[in-house]
Structure 1
Amino acid sequence: MRILHILNHVREIGNGIVNVAVDLACLQAKNHHDVAVASAGGEYETLLTKYGVKHFELDQTRTPVNLIHATRRYRGIIKEFQPDIVHAHMMTGVVLGRVLKASADYALVATVHNEFQRSAILMGLADRVIAVSHAVAKSMARRGIPERKLQVVSNGTLGSVRTRSMKEYLPVELQHPAIATVAGMYQRKGISELIAAFAQIASDFPQAHLYIVGNGPEKHIFEEKAQATGFSQRIHFAGFQPEPQRYLLAADIFVLASHRDPSPLVIPEAREAGCAIIATNVDGIPEALDNGRAGVLVPVKDSSALANALTKLLSQPSLLHHWQDQAQQNIDRLTVGRVNQETLAVYSELKIGVL
């Protein structure tokens, strides 16, 4: 099967959409499919080449002049590569894939990663729409995507070609008890609520430290909030880390306080690392935590509820150990191998003409 993935870029910056697509492309090539990626490029080009994945330069910057160039370039890529499947992971790629589909013989697949974006509805232009969680599938159905087009392939990242085995990483040295999050520095990731929750419990647990791993455009906002708490010396901004697993292995508690999160890749990694997990009860997060059996779920945008959950774990060692153990149960389904096999099944269905 000839498979073309379309992405905005393949940069190594912690972008979950890129990570999912790179994993798929490499595993599909490893499984003897002819695979290519079209994007503006980035650090993962080296990894793609290692696995025999061809990379085509495609700049999809949304300006009128550039989109004309991108359309011409895309047409040339299709003519050269002649894919059976075009798999678009972002909105512009889906539009390009649909506009030029009439002149080529391929099936168009789209994966909806961030369904909360208004433009996600355009993913319905594809022949099949893969949702990264059941919550995303229900949301897309409510927005008018026919259920016959929808297929759930829940995210999984364990065994990724981008990373080493978890046991091969050396934990960083943290001060304990260590509370950590790994997230982009955006308001929707709930960093403000996490800082507020830490400020509420910091006096009761004077040895506790908070480690915030990640980068993004709103990082300065959170740094200012941390400074205002009076506990800034115990709130550490680690920035982007190419190996966040080292922080997960060292942390006692992992927190993901997102306002919206369709299917976060970091949760499988935190589970494998053996963190006790506290996360918000929203979108695909409960599914990633076995509906509360693998981690503590708290309401969205509720720093007091988050502080209460932290207090319980920090004050009861047996409870902390219970949730650390629970996190590591039933993680076999969270692998990239399973994601790849389920995705290939979607391709195969389309290839034999079931539209």
Structure 2
Amino acid sequence: MKIAHVTAFAPYGGADIQCEMLATCLHRQGVAQRVMAGGNPERSQRLRQAGLDVVDLELPGRLAFLARKRLDGELKRFTPDLVLSWRPEVSVLVERGGYKHIGRLPATFNSKAYMTCDALLAPSKQRADAAVAAGWSMDKIHTVPDLPSIALARPNPVEIERRTLFTPATARIVFSAGRLEKSKSFDTLIDAVARLSSVYLWIAGDGPDRAFFEAHAYAKGMKPRVRFLGWVDDLQPYFRASDLFVYPAKQEDLSDIVVEAWSAGAPVIAADSLGPGLLIRHQENGVLVPVGDPVAMSDAIAWLLADQNAAERIGAAGKKSFDEEYEPSRLIDRYLKIFSGLGRTDDESVAAAGGT
């Protein structure tokens, strides 16, 4: 099987990380692939260093018809069995050809972007449901959770030195991560930590509202105890260096970041928004607090910082949930099964199903 990954790498974004991880993992499985993308030379270079074939292709480009022509030429040269498009603005450029086209669904569904898709890839049930509501048949939608970052199994893990982040050796640390936009409610988390003396807050991520959150930290007198880390691809060292993980988002259909924290055995506190609320069993493998409630969030943080046994129990239960449902090899097997099925001809699919 030959797979072409088609995307437009942004400076930061979950879809880009997923593209890099899936392509790298499939390469380790011996799957022939080519990544057609531009926009982030560092990510492209990492893919090349991992052994991937990468074609620098600026998509979607200023002129759609020229971008579509360039992409079509690259696909004809590679002759893939399957094209996986990672962003809607790129999915719309993929023309029909001698391959199956599967598009990954973003948070907001736009049916026009997927008109040439044979199937859709949904990282959550909520995104699959949005496509069904728009008229797609459920049997054309494949739901697989996103890969956790440990799927890349970095050979030389980095350890975080607190002094590099101007954090005292004796301080308790709350860690959080995500795209810095108002829907993620990092202001609520800043307010929660402000109620706890001597607790430091590390926030990994970037986005359009970073300045808003930085200004909020300053206004709350929290600037000395908040560290904005910028976009971080590998969160594992920060989970290890902190005491617990808190995710305050008021709007979130995915639970990727909770799964990431579970993979590290970190105790998790999350606002009871859609994604985390469906995933976490309260006070078993995590703690849920009301959306937008800094007092409840602060109380939950104080509890887990004070009760080491509870923190360890919740962290261990989260790790167990991860091992049972989200271990990378399990997810890769699911991807391979989906891609193999899509790559078959109609006659082969009938035979595999036991037909005649």
TM-score (norm 1): 0.86
The letter for the 2-side match of 1:238 is L
What is aligned with 2:69? 72
Q: Highest relative contact order (Cα 8 Å, sep 6+), 1 or 2?
A: 1
- CA apart distance, 1:37: 0.8
Q: Against the structure 1 CA distance between its residues 242 and 142, is the aligned structure 2 distance closer, same or farther, given a 3 Å change threshold?
A: closer
Identity %: 23
What is aligned with 1:56? 55
What is aligned with 2:207? 216
Unpaired segments ≥5 residues, structure 1:
none
Which deviations, in whole Å up to 9, do the C-alpha atoms of 1:178-215 show, x marking residues without a partner?
1111222211222111112223x22xxx2211112222
- Are 2:316 and 1:325 equivalent residues in the alignment? yes
The letter for the 1-side match of 2:159 is L
Which deviations, in whole Å up to 9, do the C-alpha atoms of 1:108-160 show, x marking residues without a partner?
11121x32x25377347521111112233233323433212111111221532
- Are 2:313 and 1:297 equivalent residues in the alignment? no
- CA apart distance, 1:274: 2.6
The letter for the 2-side match of 1:170 is E
What SS class does the counterpart of residue 150 from structure 2 fall into?
Answer: coil
| Among 184, 191, 197, the residue aligned to 1:189 | 184
| Among 239, 245, 250, the residue aligned to 1:248 | 239
What SS class does the counterpart of residue 274 from structure 1 fall into?
Answer: coil
What is aligned with 2:24? 26
What is aligned with 1:263? 254
- CA apart distance, 1:87: 0.5
Query: Residues of 1 paired with 2:177 and 2:202: CA distance?
Result: 9
| Among 27, 31, 36, the residue aligned to 1:38 | 36
Unpaired segments ≥5 residues, structure 2:
351-356
Q: Note if contact 1:155-1:265 (Cα within 8 Å) is conserved in structure 2.
A: yes
- CA apart distance, 1:86: 0.4
Q: Note if contact 1:132-1:262 (Cα within 8 Å) is conserved in structure 2.
A: no
The letter for the 2-side match of 1:334 is Y
Q: Against the structure 1 CA distance between its residues 141 and 172, is the aligned structure 2 distance closer, same or farther, given a 3 Å change threshold?
A: farther
Coordinate RMSD, CA, aligned: 2.6
What is aligned with 1:314? 305
- CA apart distance, 1:272: 2.6
Which deviations, in whole Å up to 9, do the C-alpha atoms of 1:15-72 show, x marking residues without a partner?
2111111111122222222101111152122332234322122222464xx2122011
Q: Note if contact 2:180-2:206 (Cα within 8 Å) is conserved in structure 1.
A: yes
- Are 2:161 and 1:172 equivalent residues in the alignment? yes
TM-score (norm 2): 0.85
Q: Against the structure 1 CA distance between its residues 225 and 158, is the aligned structure 2 distance closer, same or farther, given a 3 Å change threshold?
A: closer
Query: Residues of 2 paired with 1:123 and 1:169: CA distance?
Result: 40
Q: How many residues are matched?
A: 339
Query: Residues of 1 paired with 2:341 and 2:217: CA distance?
Result: 51
